[in-house]
Amino acid sequence: MVYIAADLDFADPAFGDPRLFIRSLHDKFGTGEGTVIIDEFQNIPLAGLFLKTIHDSEKGQFRFIVSGSSSLELTKNAEFLTGRKMEFLVLSFSFREFVRVSTPDIPDGRMDVQDKKYVSGYFSLYGGRLKALYADYLHIGGYPDLVLSPADARLPLLQELISTYLHKDVAGFLRVENIIAFNNLIRLLASRIGSQVNRSELSSTLRLNQETLNRYLDIIQGTYVAALVAPWYTNPRKEISKMPKVYLSDPAFARTGGIAVPRNYGLLDGHRVENAVYLSLLSHYPSEAIKYYRTASGSEVDFIVETGNGILPLGVKFTGTKSTEPLAMRNFKEKYTQALSGVIITKDHLDLPDEANLPLMIPAFMLDFIDPEGFSQPGAILRPE
């Protein structure tokens, strides 16, 4: 196996000529098969055509694993590789993975929410430790280099990540003309986690025309800085035309919006917890299956997830009081009577009711350890809106 960092080895003459690259591979592997890992693949000139030439020339002797931080550039290069590739999205560590590497003695298997005795026992045994770990996770995020580094090295690495990746690499590599406005856009989005994105307002605030703003938003999404979540409607036309909500692709990016980052679970900001819940959902469901619901009067269900068994309403109520089912969720289930019972993410309240129509109450720090399949009950076709 050979590893190549294309952003560091871009001056290698082999990258300028596929024939030289093929020769270098034969020098390394001889006549045998080999696997080549190329990181930051998009830095190679005409990267897709380059790899297609090698793949077709060598008739499968070499297998390539290519990665990069920009889905926009990877997608552009992948046009040459149709029928020759499989695509995977590699996310930063989820909270469950964070716990696995930082505190391996805590069991990290997915629990069946129907096994109420086991889930309750897990809550009693590990809840206190998981709260502290959850605050740490929201503090430093899930980037592997940070999580696997000594505690005293994490903050400097995080600051370097934000400065270099967000403000220099992304903006510079993708040829952003107005760097100040681009960085300010990231800061504005990071300060509005879970809020609707009003493009007209952003355009006016940043003094950008709509075309430029939309391109910058595409770059921010395509480089996994943030995600825009569409509203849920039975009418796709409304879904496309209404304002999306913004979430960050890693908890650490909230720092760019000037949000305080407490290390105390009890003091965590509810919007940051909502962002972490989005990331938990994203680790199990495709991004296009995760929506939100908002009525004309402004009442809202934080997430609507299109599962294989029906529509799952999920709300976040990160308060110290005992959580109850929000009116907006009850109204949603009444309007769409075959919707699933729902889930409410709480601060530290666990309740697994037997009644079929009542939502589950799951503490935020336990969500990643619950098998989402247990949230789904057989559904039916929804009535039109």
CATH number at residue 27: 3.40.50.300
Cα angle 224-227-228, degrees, rounded to a multiple of 5: 155
Please indicate, yes or no, whether residues 32 and 165 belong to a single structural domain of this protein: no
* 8 Å CB contact between 137 and 276: yes
- Does a structural domain hold residue 90? no
pLDDT of residue 200: 94
Q: Which amino acid is at 349?
A: H
pLDDT of residue 71: 58
pLDDT of residue 329: 93
Domain that holds residue 260: 95-375
- Does a structural domain hold residue 43? yes
Boundary of a domain, candidates 81, 110, 125 = 81
Please indicate, yes or no, whether residues 292 and 168 belong to a single structural domain of this protein: yes
Q: Whole-angstrom Cα distance, residue 225 to residue 72?
A: 12
DSSP 3-state of 53: helix
Nearest to 292 by CA among 251, 334, 254, 242: 242
pLDDT of residue 381: 38
Nearest to 251 by CA among 233, 236, 268, 235: 268
- Does a structural domain hold residue 292? yes
Q: Whole-angstrom Cα distance, residue 47 to residue 59?
A: 18
pLDDT of residue 365: 97
pLDDT of residue 197: 93
Q: Which amino acid is at 8?
A: L
Boundary of a domain, candidates 15, 46, 81 = 81
Nearest to 41 by CA among 83, 82, 72: 72
Q: Whole-angstrom Cα distance, residue 125 to residue 131?
A: 12
Boundary of a domain, candidates 81, 109, 141 = 81
Rg (CA), the chain: 23
Q: Where are the beta strands (DSSP E) in 166-274?
A: 226-229, 245-248
Q: Give first-to-last CA distance, the chain, whole Å.
A: 55
Residue by residue, DSSP assigns 73-141 as HHHHHHGGGTTS------PPPPHHHHHHHH-TTS--SPBPTT-HHHHHHHHHHHHHHHHHHHHHHHHH-
Q: Whole-angstrom Cα distance, residue 5 to residue 14?
A: 13
Please indicate, yes or no, whether residues 136 and 262 belong to a single structural domain of this protein: yes
Please tell me whether the overall predicted TM-score, pTM, comes out greater than 0.85 for this model. no
Please indicate, yes or no, whether residues 276 and 164 belong to a single structural domain of this protein: yes
Write out residues in the chain with pLDDT < 50, as ranges: 377-385
**Segment 48-66, tens digit of pLDDT:** 787 788 777 777 787 888 8
Please indicate, yes or no, whether residues 66 and 129 belong to a single structural domain of this protein: no
